Amino acid sequence: MVMGDRVEEVDVAVIGGGPGGYAAAFRCAELGLETVVVDAGKRLGGACLYEGCIPSKALLHVVAVLHEAERAKDFGIDFGEPRISLDPLRKWKSERVVGKLARGLAGVAKAKGIQVIGGRAAFDDSHNIRVDGDEPQVVRFKHAIVATGSAPARLPGFPVSERVMDSTAALALPEIPERLLVIGGGYIGLELGQVYAALGSAVTVVEMTDGLLPGVDRDLVQPLARRCEKLFAAIHLGTKVAALRETGGGIEAELAGKGTERFDRVLVAVGRRAATEGLGLEHTKIRPDARGFIAVDDRCRTADPAIYAVGDATGEPMLAHRASRQGRVAAEVIAGRPSAFDSVAVPAVVFTDPEVAWCGLTEAQAARENRTVKVATFQWAASGRATTLGRADGLTKLIVDPDSGRLLGVGITGPGAGELIAEGTLAVEAALLAEDLALTIHAHPTLSESLMEAAESLFR
């Protein structure tokens, strides 16, 4: 410690103000622990609020409105060609959506007596962090919670150019390029690819594996893949981008084995890496893995007894709701409560058109683990509600233990799948039987009936 440094002493120092960090801090304060949050941006919300979940979902709502207006032509209503004004759209996203939620979080922190310090934190040792902000200071703590999140992965050798965007740059909507190349057919590539396609770009997706959303059950992905084939100019599977070259006014992309194409902009969406560099972990007992992720146990404890870690910095699945749950667990364990991250079903939702959602065991995972399961599927073509919505392109699927009938996993594709998956998550988490879903009355006509119908099919 340097003589003259301002020193703050607290029970808990939370590093990072994203959904993992603020959930941890709020719970610490509720449990009577004196808590500070150190965040590089001096704000709560993290990647999720400023450059992730929230701005992308605001833009995907715009996509849904545009698609619904287009579909209305099928039943005799023509709204005409949409006229899109980027400035009001950017303002609505940043001020009325992100800004509103940011003010809400700041208000909660204030009400709970949590101090938010601005600056980058690095460990001096297992009980002190140095904050390199406007006013450098040292925070001495009994416990720290690392919640520094993640950042977009980069592809080595690609030019640094404003035409080569990561998700943060793309969410700012700098312009609507005529031709957009999206590298990566995962969550971000498909969500933001659909945003740009709806706003007018000709989108080409290049995915290195042989299918979109690798890892997700193929039958769940198929309706989305069919929709993407209509919305995108091209999808190249099993393809890598060998090189990108900035040319006068554009980017030339060499698609391995498929020749060269010109684009106006590129979105690189090939995964995320842990934001643990420069955190001074070498001064603690924590040794991150080769990708920078910090290993934790089910109490969110690290190899250093004074330090806990939560959220994206601890690896997959890199989802906001998982970060928040871990944050609350870490706070409760620090406060001496018998808490653990023992969730068996972390829901995942891709907010595309159609949405794809799943939780618990997937069919692909069961196959990998040589686990025998029963699979029940209900196609939405037979759903009254889906038909009234003009959306017969969905399906609902249950993965069931063949001996006990216990629900092990649920997958849903279709509009609203992200909301519907909550029933599946609750059912898996509560160890319900498929029979419980079959015997529960679901209102008619709703898409939720598809869960009941899928379950009923097991008893015919």
Give the binding range for ligand FAD (CB under 6 A) out of 74-82, 89-97, 174-182, 320-328: 320-328
Q: Is 267 within 8 Å of 185 (Cβ atoms)? A: no
- Quick one: tokens of 173? 């909507």
Among 191, 353, 449, 453, binds ligand NAD (CB under 6 A): 191
**Residue 318 binding ligand NAD, by CB under 6 A:** yes
Among 12, 13, 15, 399, binds ligand FAD (CB under 6 A): 15
Tell me: does residue 16 bind ligand FAD (CB under 6 A): yes
Indicate which residue of 61, 67, 442, 444 is catalytic.
444
Site for ligand NAD in 241-260 (CB under 6 A): 241
Query: Nearest Cα to 191, choosing from 92, 61, 88, 278?
Result: 61
Binding string, 231-270, against ligand FAD, x = CB under 6 A?
A: ----------------------------------------
Asked if 323 is part of the footprint of ligand NAD (rule: CB under 6 A), the reply reads: no
Q: Which of 187, 263, 378, 380 binds ligand NAD (CB under 6 A)?
A: 187
> What x-and-dash track marks residues 336-355 binding ligand NAD by CB under 6 A?
-------------xxx----
* 61 catalytic residue (yes or no): no
| Minimum separation from the CB atom of position 130 to ligand NAD (A) | 30
CB 163 within 8 A of CB 246: yes
**Computed from CA positions of residues 296, 300, 303, 309, in that sequence, does the dihedral angle turn out positive or negative?**
positive
Q: Residue 33 burial (CB < 10 Å; 0-12/13-18/19+)?
A: middle
CB of 29 to ligand FAD, least distance (A): 17
With binding defined as CB under 6 A, does residue 40 bind ligand FAD? yes
Q: Quick check: 195 binds ligand NAD (CB under 6 A)?
A: no
Does the CA dihedral 47-146-216-344 come out positive or negative?
negative
The per-type count for the chain, helices as H runs and strands as E runs, is 14, 22
What is the DSSP code string of 175-207? ---SEEEEE--SHHHHHHHHHHHHHT-EEEEE-
Site for ligand FAD (CB under 6 A): which residue of 10, 17, 212, 213?
17
Query: What whole-number distance in Å separates Cα of residue 355 and Cα of residue 351?
Result: 5
CB of 243 to ligand NAD, least distance (A): 12
Q: What angle (nearest 5°) sits at the alpha carbon of residue 67, between those of residues 452 and 417? A: 25
Beta bridge partners of 206: 183, 236
Output 39 or 453, the one with its CB closest to ligand FAD: 39
Closer residue to ligand NAD, CB minimum distance, 214 or 250: 214
**CB neighbours of 301 closer than 8 A, spacing ≥ 6?**
308, 333
Q: In this complex, which beta carbon is closest to ligand NAD, that of residue 240 or of residue 283?
A: 240
Binding site for ligand NAD (CB under 6 A): 155, 183-189, 191, 206-209, 214, 240-241, 269-272, 317-319, 349-351
Positions marked catalytic? 444
